[in-house]
């Protein structure tokens, strides 16, 4: 069984399809997506469609990122301006009925349910734990503040008292190369910009990457 972590997707369905084609997930694999599925990129709707289908197989553990939280908050309080300024316009456009720019009402209830009820704040295995942005180093995962899990700061996280390696996103690596600190690995490699979407096999250190042009490549990081 492989434990596969996928970084911030941000509406990049072409990169996601290409990445999954390269990885070829097997039924016994566990796939953890680190959040930020929505906003900025052109096809949030397509990304969520694919994640819902993958979740139905029992393989996917989807985390929630700060962009999902902003989107959910906007629906709850009706205040869209903050979300739209963070890339929400691209999300609404991907759901738009022909002839408009998209509204919250265009988003199917199944997608809201996925974001609100199927996504979790963190996940852990024997040797690793997975969060969107960061974790307080001296707190158990179950006691982490949501603000830290979703927002960080994550530019230079500290080792966690558990001794487990933290796998996270959120902190964009514009080089396209994952940041490996030994005790923490960041795999947000900017697919919605000029970078790549990354999948990391946390056991072997093997990395697959794909971009919005459909290109693929592989790397290896020290474990």
> What is the C-alpha separation between 216 and 211, in angstroms, rounded?
7
Q: What's the structural domain count of the chain? A: 1
Residue 83 in this model has a pLDDT that exceeds 80? yes
What pTM does this model have? 0.97
Spatial contact of 170 and 36, defined as CB atoms under 8 Å apart: yes
Range of the domain at 85: 3-220
Confidence of residue 222 (pLDDT cuts 50, 70, 90): confident
Can you give the CATH number for the domain in which 208 is found? 3.60.21.10
Express each pLDDT in 119-162 by its tens digit: 999 999 999 999 999 999 999 999 999 999 999 986 789 999 99
Residue 175: per-residue pLDDT: 97
> What is the C-alpha separation between 203 and 30, in angstroms, rounded?
12
Residue 223 in this model has a pLDDT that exceeds 80? no
What CA–CA distances, in Å, run from 63 to 115, 139, 155?
9, 19, 19
36 φψ region: left (φ > 0), alpha (ψ -120 to 50), beta (else): left
Residue 11: per-residue pLDDT: 99
Burial class from Cβ neighbours inside 10 Å (0-12, 13-18, 19+) for residue 192 reads buried
């Amino acid at each position: 069984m492989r434990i596969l972590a996928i970084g911030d997707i941000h509406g990049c369905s072409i990169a996601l399809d290409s990445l999954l084609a390269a990885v070829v997930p097997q039924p016994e694999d566990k796939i953890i997506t680190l959040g930020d599925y929505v906003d900025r990129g052109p096809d949030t709707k397509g990304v969520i469609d694919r994640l819902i289908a993958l979740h139905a197989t029992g393989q996917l553990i989807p985390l929630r990122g700060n962009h999902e939280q902003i989107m959910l908050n906007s629906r709850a309080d009706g205040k869209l301006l903050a979300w739209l300024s963070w890339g929400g316009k691209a999300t609404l456009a991907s759901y738009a009925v022909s002839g408009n720019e998209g509204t919250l009402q265009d988003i199917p209830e199944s997608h809201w349910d996925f974001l609100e009820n199927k996504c979790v704040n963190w996940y852990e295995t024997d040797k690793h734990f997975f969060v969107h942005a960061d974790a307080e180093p001296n707190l158990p995962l179950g006691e982490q503040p949501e603000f830290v899990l979703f927002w960080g700061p994550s530019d230079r996280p500290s080792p966690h008292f558990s001794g487990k390696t933290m796998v996270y996103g959120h902190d964009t690596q514009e080089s396209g190369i994952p940041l490996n600190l030994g005790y923490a690995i960041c795999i947000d490699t900017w697919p919605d910009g000029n970078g790549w979407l990354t999948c990391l096999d946390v056991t072997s250190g093997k990395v697959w990457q794909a971009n919005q042009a459909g290109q693929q490549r592989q790397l290896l990081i020290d474990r």
